[in-house]
Structure 1
Amino acid sequence: MIAQKKCFVAFVTMVLLVVALAASSAFAADKIVWKSSGHGPATDPSQIYHDKLCKAITEASGGRLEVKAFVGGSVVPATQEVDAVSQGVLQMAYTCPMYNLDKWKAAGLISSRPGGLPGEALRTWFNYGGGADLMNKMMEGHDVITFPGALSPLPAEVFLHSKKKIETVEDLKGLKMRASGDGGEILARMGASVVFLPGGELYEAMQRGTIDAFEYSTLASNWDMHFNEIAKYVILSPSRAPSDPQAFFINKKAWEALPDDLKQLVQYVIGNWTQAQHEFLTYESIKAIDKFKEFGCEVYKLPKEVEAAIAAEAEKFYQEKAATEDPIYAEILNSMNSYWASYSATQ
């Protein structure tokens, strides 16, 4: 009798083990794994938010969709994340649209555009004014998509962190500076000596004297990256980048393969976290001004004369581009300008 009971217990245990293994195999078969990269170093708040968001998606899905987070530059060279998404090396990336001017000249309109839409206006244009649809139209021919809620506008960028004080338009001429996107092209037209470097290289480049000034992100982000240690002057102005937006880009095939409930979950989580990042950095940037001052940096606003000159050069720049680039360029520019006119009328 005892032997029969032992045999029965062993049989039941084996059955339960088989069932558990089968369930585990079924879960493993259903589990989806994505790789996602930010564009910045680990200390960049945008990278930190990206990493937290990846974890939030994984947890909210109960592990059905595991999103593995990677720091900018760890999978592909920093700022080339969208190419990796299109090629299927990454399934998702969080980066600045303007880093993709080699593919889409109109990307500069959506990202840190001189004279462009400020934060709240940019986000509402993207989510409700057709901006996301226009961005997808711009990206046709590449295996990458975005959607409403995927853009975080962020506050206005610092105009420049600089070793040299900028008080006149003449002070820009010959200035060795890092800049990106349309703002970089416009400042180069005004006489600045512009180069592009990934954010993670700026600290060392300033130390070595490769550059004497740079733009990068918000006051909050730049304080966390210790830029107070390498530049005496913190120059504020929304003229070059009234918003510093980043957006999530997703591989089209990977997106289409997701079950509908996971698609909804991903959009919901991303929409919440991009909004939260905007609000957090707006608040932290207010506090960061005092931190820069207390450290000994001189924080001041760019003179109106220089702002006016940048605005005038930007207007010429965009008129030329709209007349010569693909039709999507003028379509996005006109959509943003029309939205800004309507938005401004309500303020």
Structure 2
Amino acid sequence: MAATVAGFMTVPFAANAADTYRFKMATGWAGGPLMDIGAKAFAERIDQLSDGRIKVQVFPGGALGNALKVSETVKNGVAELGHTWMGYDWGKDPSVVLFGGYAGSFDSERMLHWLYEAGGAEMQRQYRDEVFGVVSIPLFIRTAEVFLHSRKPVRTLEDIKGLKLRTAGAWLDMAKDLGAAPVTTAGGDVFPMLERGVIDATEWGTLWEDISPGFHKVAKYLIIPGVHQPTAPFELVINKDVWAKLSDKDKKLMETAARLTTLDSWLRIGEEDAKALDFYRKAGNEIIELDPEVQYKTRDIADKWADEVAKSNKWFEKVLVDQRAFEKRWANANQYRNVKVRPTAVQ
């Protein structure tokens, strides 16, 4: 059974000394960048910022509960902390995908600005508290994902029809509108399913992140760009009773550690992604860019889906309206932020 919160907290060693804590963190990951520069990086940073007072033991997906239900594991007190993608909870409330990214989202740079400068993180905190009963803080963010590692070439709308693909979140529904046959499963099951041909294709992470699970070894075709997931913010979930016992100073330390880890993950993934295409070419993969009609169709489906959900879901409507206002405010950003340069051939 779940241990009590008090069982994971040590008694202060002096009357005026700061509290020390030992927390368990459930995750949805067996390993890879999500573990190394996400969950474990956060644990290292909070240890450093707290001068060793706050220590976090990170557990791989499935060790403390269902890897797709980390927020539930944390709410129930099996773990004090969790690292997950909020979109896994979309079956309870689809609003989660607006915070976790979906086919209608803006890119990662804009998402970071919305979260940290335009009130998105505060809205996320309030939403998770009211609907799921946990504390939520952004932790880790991806750039656009790979659309598919596929055993079959995929370029057109016709190629997607009947394709058995692994995915999660709102894309399970939207992919059906493109004619695909999607299923979902935890990350650790994806490689063997792809290897055995149980699925034709999978999406998971960015170019660099997908090197670690080795999908390229059993799927010849790499399909880009990730129109299903232009960005993917992840989150730190905290048990509400645990959060309530923290001092204001320690709450701020947790928020700062998560923010620094998030920004570092974005910078690291951006640089590593730039190197990854060459890796896949040398590994013998064929890189295919989706036809424009697929990319346009995907955004049309996403916008229509969001409009429909917003009609009957107040939280979804609230977040969607806020994000679209932000997107409108940034509509002309490229004009004043990007300087045109003469195109050069890429070798």
Structure-2 change in CA distance of 1:342 and 1:211 (3 Å): same
> Identity across aligned pairs (percent)?
28
Please tell me whether the aligned partners of residues 139 and 261 of structure 2 are also in contact (alpha carbons under 8 angstroms).
no
Give the AA of the match of 2:101.
Answer: S
Residue matched to 2:135: 145
TM-score by length of 2: 0.88
Per-residue deviation, 1:141: 4.4
TM-score (norm 1): 0.88
The structure-2 alpha-carbon separation of the partners of 1:345 and 1:23, relative to structure 1 and needing over 3 Å to count, comes to: closer
Distance 1:311 1:30 in 2: 49
Report the Cα offset of residue 135 of structure 1.
Answer: 1.8
Q: Structure 1 residues 296, 66: CA separation in 2 closer, same or farther (over 3 Å shift)? A: same
**Structure 2 counterpart of 1:142, one-letter code:** F
Tell me how far apart the structure 1 counterparts of residues 262 and 197 of structure 2 sit (CA, whole Å): 35
Identify unmatched segments of 5+ residues in structure 1: 1-21
Paired residue secondary structure (2:153): coil
Residue among 297, 307, 310 paired with 2:295: 307
Displacement, 1:251?
Answer: 1.5
Q: Are 1:329 and 2:319 matched, yes or no?
A: no
Paired residue secondary structure (1:94): strand
Task: Kindly tell me the number of residue pairs found equivalent between the two proteins.
Answer: 322
Q: Tell me which residue corresponds to 1:13.
A: none
Other-structure match for 2:169: 181
Partner of 2:308: 320
- Distance in 1 (alpha carbons) for counterparts of 2:175 and 2:132: 30
- Whether 2:230 is the aligned partner of 1:242: answer yes
CA distance in 1, matches of 2:20, 2:176: 49
Cα distance in structure 2, aligned partners of 1:225 and 1:165 = 20
From 277, 283, 287, the equivalent of 2:271 is: 283
Higher helix share: 1
Residue 205 of structure 1 deviates from its aligned partner by: 0.5
Equivalent residue for 1:195?
Answer: 183
1:71 aligned partner: 60
Read off the aligned partner of 2:264 and give its amino acid letter.
A
Asked if 2 retains the 8 angstrom alpha-carbon contact of 1:123 and 1:152, the reply is: no
Q: Does 1:93 align with 2:103?
A: no
Q: Does residue 1:270 correspond to 2:224, yes or no?
A: no
Matched, 1:344 2:331: yes
The answer for unaligned runs of 5 or more in structure 2 is: 1-10, 335-347
Aligned equivalents of 2:12, 2:112: Cα separation in 1: 43
* Counterpart residue number, 1:111: 100
Aligned-pair CA distance for 1:83: 0.7
**2:72 is equivalent to residue 80 of structure 1:** no
Q: Aligned AA for 1:166?
A: V
Separation (CA, whole Å) in 1 of partners of 2:247 and 2:50: 11
Q: Secondary structure at the match of 1:136?
A: helix
Provide closer, same or farther for how the CA distance between residues 168 and 142 of structure 1 changes in structure 2, counting only shifts above 3 A. closer
Match for residue 218 of structure 1? Answer: 206
- Offset at residue 168 of structure 1 (A): 1.6
- Structure 2 distance, partners of 1:96, 1:58, is 23
Cα distance in 1 for residues equivalent to 2:141 and 2:164: 27
CA RMSD of aligned residues (A): 2.0
CA distance in 2, matches of 1:118, 1:31: 38
